[in-house]
């Protein structure tokens, strides 16, 4: 091997080592950045939390594992709901999303004000974005726990009503989940709480105008059917 070849080989090796060191440092820097952004999600300053949420979304699916770890470790509602909001956008099929959102809607977070209804309603709204969330919402329409169930049922009904307003560009998976949930929504018209019953009726009527034929036809049949007897109210 000539001296020139040795020089070229040495230069190439040095370049590779430098690039490796650069990317390792970049990875560590990005990891630290993600950790810092996750901490921002817990802040009481909505603007700071929303900026952190936007930056995490822009990082894409690679932040998914960090978000899952954060959600499973964090006890309070606030940080978890922001993290789940990111996860819904970067990894909507993640199995952690639906059960964690259910816990928030039901007010089961530690170190959070159970009176923070806006946050819990926000969690319900996120559930309307995924098939698993919609399936869980249909079960929440039947939550009759004393002292908690009424808010949960109202939140679920409101979410179905909002979902019915935005049926354009909906994935086939979400459409399938909605079709499966429509019978539960129809049954909710019998709820003794007039808000739940009225919202369920309104949502079902909106679904009759959905661009998806299967949704519209089933909603129309259920709407024409007589509502079952009123259930308990709590």
Report, as an integer, the average pLDDT of 27-46. 79
Report, as an integer, the average pLDDT of 170-177. 96
User: How far is 43 from 66, CA to CA, in rounded Å?
Assistant: 18
Which segment of 10-19, 129-138, 165-174, 220-229 scores lowest on mean pLDDT? Answer: 10-19
pLDDT for position 78: 83
Report, as an integer, the average pLDDT of 18-38. 60
User: How far is 9 from 3, CA to CA, in rounded Å?
Assistant: 10
Query: What is the percent of the chain where pLDDT is above 90?
Result: 50
For 71-84, the pLDDT digits (tens) are: 988 887 888 889 99
Residue 212 pLDDT exceeds 80: yes
Report, as an integer, the average pLDDT of 140-152. 85
Angle at 232 between CA 203 and CA 112, to 5 degrees: 75
For 83-129, the pLDDT digits (tens) are: 999 999 999 999 999 999 998 888 777 655 544 677 888 899 999 99
User: How far is 213 from 234, CA to CA, in rounded Å?
Assistant: 36
Residue 169 pLDDT exceeds 60: yes
Taking phi over 0 as left and psi of -120 to 50 as alpha, with beta for the rest, 43 belongs to beta
Which segment of 49-63, 109-123, 219-233 scores lowest on mean pLDDT? Answer: 109-123
pLDDT for position 2: 59
Structure confidence at residue 45 as a pLDDT band (50, 70, 90): confident
Residue 31 pLDDT exceeds 60: yes
**Spans of all domains in the chain:** 128-234
């Amino acid at each position: 091997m000539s001296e020139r070849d040795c020089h070229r080989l040495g230069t190439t090796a040095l370049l590779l080592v430098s690039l490796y060191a650069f990317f390792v440092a970049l990875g560590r820097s990005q990891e630290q950045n993600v950790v810092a952004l996750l901490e921002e999600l817990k802040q009481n300053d909505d603007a700071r939390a929303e900026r952190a949420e936007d930056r995490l979304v822009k990082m894409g699916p690679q932040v998914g594992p960090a978000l899952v770890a954060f959600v499973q470790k964090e006890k309070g509602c606030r940080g978890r709901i922001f993290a789940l909001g990111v996860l819904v956008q970067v990894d909507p099929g993640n199995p952690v999303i639906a059960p964690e959102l259910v816990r928030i809607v039901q007010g089961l977070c530690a170190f959070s004000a159970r009176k923070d209804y806006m946050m819990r309603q926000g969690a319900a709204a996120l559930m309307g974005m995924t098939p698993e969330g919609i399936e869980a919402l249909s079960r929440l329409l039947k939550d009759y726990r004393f002292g908690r169930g009424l808010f949960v049922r109202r939140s679920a009904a409101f979410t179905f009503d909002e979902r019915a307003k935005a049926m354009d560009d909906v994935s086939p998976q979400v459409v399938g989940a909605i079709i499966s949930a429509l019978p539960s929504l129809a049954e909710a018209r019998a709820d003794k709480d007039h808000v739940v019953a009225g919202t369920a009726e309104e949502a079902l009527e909106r679904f009759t105008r959905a661009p998806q034929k299967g949704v519209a036809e089933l909603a129309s049949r259920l709407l024409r059917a007589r509502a079952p007897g009123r259930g308990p109210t709590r």
